[in-house]
Chains A and B, each alone.
With several copies, the nearest count.
Chain A
Amino acid sequence: MDRHIYFDHAAATPLLPEVVDAMLPYLHEHFGNPSSLHAWGDAPREALAVARAQVAGLVGAARPEEVIFTSCGTEANNMAIKGLAMAQQARGKHIVISAIEHFSVLYSVRTLEKRGFTATLVPVDKYGLVDPQAVADAIQPDTILVSIMHANGEVGTIQPLKEIVQLAKERRVPVHTDAVTTAGTIPVDVMDLGVDALTLAGDSFYGPKGAAALWVKRGTRIIPLLDGGIQEGGRRSGTENVPAIVGMGVAAEIAKAKMPERIAQATAVRDALLNRLPAAIPHTIVTGHPTQRVPDIASFCIEFIEGEGMLMLLSSKGIGVSSGSACTSRALKGSHVLEAMGVPAEIAQGSMLFGIGIDNTLVDVDAVIEALPPIVERLRQMSPLYDKYLKSQKGG
């Protein structure tokens, strides 16, 4: 590799040096158990309290105790969907989600369906937008939970969550949102949004793997996913992953402080990609909403070829991107998000996702614009689909 340009921050973010530095004491001298009543418990317990306040601060939570630390966004989503639904099942067994939720929401709902719940998947338009009225219309008398993600991690479309929440509240249905893609990146305020529960993950904003959180509004009943001891107020048992939680806290604080400048920088890189890539490569479609999108995701479908080959050839040039959902690129299924947006399956196979990070620059975009067209051309030359397209053009 001559260059190293990482453009896959939706899959993983490098840890900030401040984050690692903050974690290290908890991997060394402060290894104690936060539940321990002796002196070895003091520093870890204090550290959890600080991190809890930092994470609460990032999402505008009134009370740090409302933050429940989990091991990953997937766990937080499983806990939210299963825990909120199970707590309300006396009132009803119907759940409303969008068709483009992350698999951890989607399959949690599937599991509940096996336990007698029913679900409505609200569709999205071609930009990946959920219509708030469609959510309202999907709500039944026995609906006990609405879960709509704040923004989608594959195409970056930001949902009109506030409107959705308002319509759900009028119908007295609690709302959870998966904010893994937005929290730490754009302003997320649980009070302003009006949600009852919100998922966020530290490793999406330069914190470490191993720490995420579910914020649950005080007074909202939730059944634990992990039964056991008394950690996290009895709502999430298991010895707390102190170093990772500390890292998430510091990352949250920095994300909040640097948000405006990070947004400006990412937006410039994103817009350069969104403008220049389709110009450099014919038959390239931008996916997601033209304006209602997060600053750090640029997503495309490149026709006639499949994404994996592209990303591996790009990788051989030192450039890291992903195709389809970063988390599920080995699932061998076409993206359910693009499918829900009405992108034809063979076009969806050519999906390409740029997750823009704090170090990416316009020079990186230059490198992509230089490296990608010959790769696409080479794969198209190999592609029977492109062949057919060219012949049909000649014929036509």
Chain B
Amino acid sequence: MPVYSEKVMDNFMNPRNVGEIADADGIGEVGNPVCGDMMTFYIKVRDNRLEDVKFKTFGCGAAIAVSSMVSQMATGMTLDEALKLTNASVAEELGGLPTNKLHCSNLGADALHAAIQDYLKKKGGNGDGRKAE
């Protein structure tokens, strides 16, 4: 019995959207290598939608698979939709995670949300009148 579901393994072995976006609209970094996991998400926003999502992740197989899955799920979403993306839906989409790895899915959603917050903050700071929710 492998520790991870097939879908987790696929996303771990062949992670999608690894990398960074040089001129990202928002960057979110969560976690801490001291605790074993750290994720950086990069987003490109166009018409209030996530046009591109990339990540770099330091962490276990689950952390990498979660990052890959979050990036795929988020791409194309509106910001509001992406902000509503939950750890539970990520874990579900991955066909489940071992209980002791569920925190990885929290981290994935958190990193994405942090990148969006970063974008909203910067945008607010640019003076176009839109405030961070």
Contact = CB atoms under 8 A, between A and B. Distances in A.
Interface of A: 37, 41-43, 45-46, 49, 304-306, 308-309, 312-313, 316, 330, 332, 334, 345-346, 349, 381-387
Given A42-B1, A309-B61, A349-B33, A384 B12 contact: no
Closest 6 CB pairs of A and B: A46-B1, A346-B33, A308-B60, A345-B34, A384-B56, A384-B40
B61 A385 contact: no
B102 to A, nearest CB: 11
B11 interface: no
Most chain B CB within 10 A, of A37, A312, A334, is at A312
Interface of B: 1-3, 12-13, 15, 18, 20, 29, 33-40, 56-61, 63-64, 100
A312 B38 contact: no
A384 B38 contact: yes
A382 B18 contact: yes
A380 B100 CA distance: 24
A309 B33 contact: no
B57 to A, nearest CB: 6
B2 to A, nearest CB: 5
Contacts of B35: 345
Most chain B CB within 10 A, of A42, A45, A382, is at A382
Given A382-B57, A387-B56, A309 B12 contact: yes
A312 B18 contact: no
24 contacts: A42-B2, A42-B3, A45-B1, A306-B36, A308-B61, A309-B61, A312-B61, A313-B13, A316-B13, A330-B100, A332-B36, A332-B100, A345-B34, A346-B58, A349-B33, A382-B56, A382-B57, A383-B56, A383-B57, A383-B58, A384-B38, A384-B39, A385-B38, A386-B58
Contacts of B20: 387
A346 B57 contact: no
A46 B18 CA distance: 32
B64 A382 contact: yes
A363 to B, nearest CB: 26
A29 to B, nearest CB: 16
A46 B2 CA distance: 8
A contact patch SS: helix
Contacts of A304: 58
A242 to B, nearest CB: 12
A53 B112 CA distance: 39
Contact of A306 (B15, B18, B56, B58): B58
Given A43-B1, A306-B59, A334-B34, 17 more contacts: A41-B3, A42-B3, A46-B1, A305-B58, A306-B36, A306-B58, A308-B61, A309-B59, A330-B100, A381-B18, A382-B57, A382-B64, A383-B58, A384-B29, A384-B57, A385-B33, A387-B40
A44 to B, nearest CB: 9
A384 B13 contact: no
Nearest to A308: B60
A313 B9 CA distance: 10
Contacts of B3: 37, 41-42, 45
A386 B18 CA distance: 14
Contacts of A346: 33-34, 58
Contacts of B13: 313, 316
A332 B58 CA distance: 14
Contact of B58 (A42, A330, A345, A384): A384
Nearest to B15: A382
Contacts of A381: 18
B40 to A, nearest CB: 4
A376 to B, nearest CB: 13
A309 B38 contact: no
B91 to A, nearest CB: 16
B28 to A, nearest CB: 11
A345 B38 CA distance: 13
A124 B56 CA distance: 35
A342 to B, nearest CB: 14
Contacts of A308: 60-61
